[in-house]
Structure 1
């Protein structure tokens, strides 16, 4: 049985999530295409979590971690009266997709955002995976509002 729950991001829960990160990176990271290796700032994640600025939702199948959603919680930079949850990363192991896990992950996140008084929840996705994620997000009330452009620059220039 798949379940989603709010958990604290701690050194222990971070260690549990680390084995999922290479699969996430291999499938989704644009940085990989530019030759930039995965190298998270784990200490910064833990510091922000200790300051109450991380919202961590896990997806579990009979207790085993099979997905996660991490967001940062802070007042908006342009709207300081608007507590905002900004999605950092989300991932569901491929063999657990299509089982309503993604929907459960996001609806649990939204429920917790509301409980915490967060006024804006925002999440991004890689454009090459939007055809899978966009319908899910729209079905639970999200509206596409922004497009981001990237340009990897040559090293040292």
Structure 2
């Protein structure tokens, strides 16, 4: 049974780092351009300290099998709209069938509602599309993001 809880970044980061590396290897376009994974840990710690970082961790028998990291703050253009902006989320490949993603996102939604968040944004990579999950959870598509790499590959 997977349980979801809010965990402090500072206490879980070292345990999470191998999964971040695995996730980077799976989905990052940065690796294709020689850009290594180098999390700005000091910034995450500062966001944790100021209360804007939220980290949800899914554990099965004590082992992390899923996570969701986001930032919660008023929108820069909409001061009165407390907004959840995504950073990254992951479900272990062996847990991607079934309802783990749905359960995690429902847990997150309940916590965001409890905190008074009005707007929650999420994103789906084109090459690793999870749009069906988001549509199932009643998210509406509002924007497509494009990237262009400048400089040498």
What is the rounded CA distance, in whole Å, between the counterparts of 2:51 and 2:128 in structure 1? Answer: 30
What is the rounded CA distance, in whole Å, between the counterparts of 2:28 and 2:2 in structure 1? Answer: 26
Q: How does 1:2-151 map to 2 (within 5 A)?
A: 2-10=2-10, 12-130=11-129, 133-151=130-148
Stretches of 4+ aligned residues off by more than 3 angstroms: none
Give structure 1 stretches of 5+ with no counterpart.
none
Residue 33 (structure 1) shift? 1.2
What is the rounded CA distance, in whole Å, between the counterparts of 2:143 and 2:125 in structure 1? Answer: 13
What is the rounded CA distance, in whole Å, between the counterparts of 1:58 and 1:104 in structure 2? Answer: 12
RMSD between superposed Cα atoms in Å? 1.0
Aligned length: 152
The TM-score with structure 1 as length reference comes to 0.93
Q: Structure 1 residues 99 and 2 mapped into 2: Cα distance closer, same or farther (>3 Å)?
A: farther
What is the rounded CA distance, in whole Å, between the counterparts of 1:49 and 1:76 in structure 2? Answer: 18
What is the rounded CA distance, in whole Å, between the counterparts of 1:35 and 1:86 in structure 2? Answer: 27
What is the rounded CA distance, in whole Å, between the counterparts of 1:62 and 1:104 in structure 2? Answer: 17
Residue 105 (structure 1) shift? 1.3
- Residue 128 of structure 1 aligns to a residue whose secondary structure is coil
Residue 110 (structure 1) shift? 0.8
- Residue 17 of structure 1 aligns to a residue whose secondary structure is helix
What is the rounded CA distance, in whole Å, between the counterparts of 1:123 and 1:18 in structure 2? Answer: 22
Tell me if structure 2 keeps the 8 A contact 1:6–1:108.
no
- Residue 127 of structure 2 aligns to a residue whose secondary structure is helix
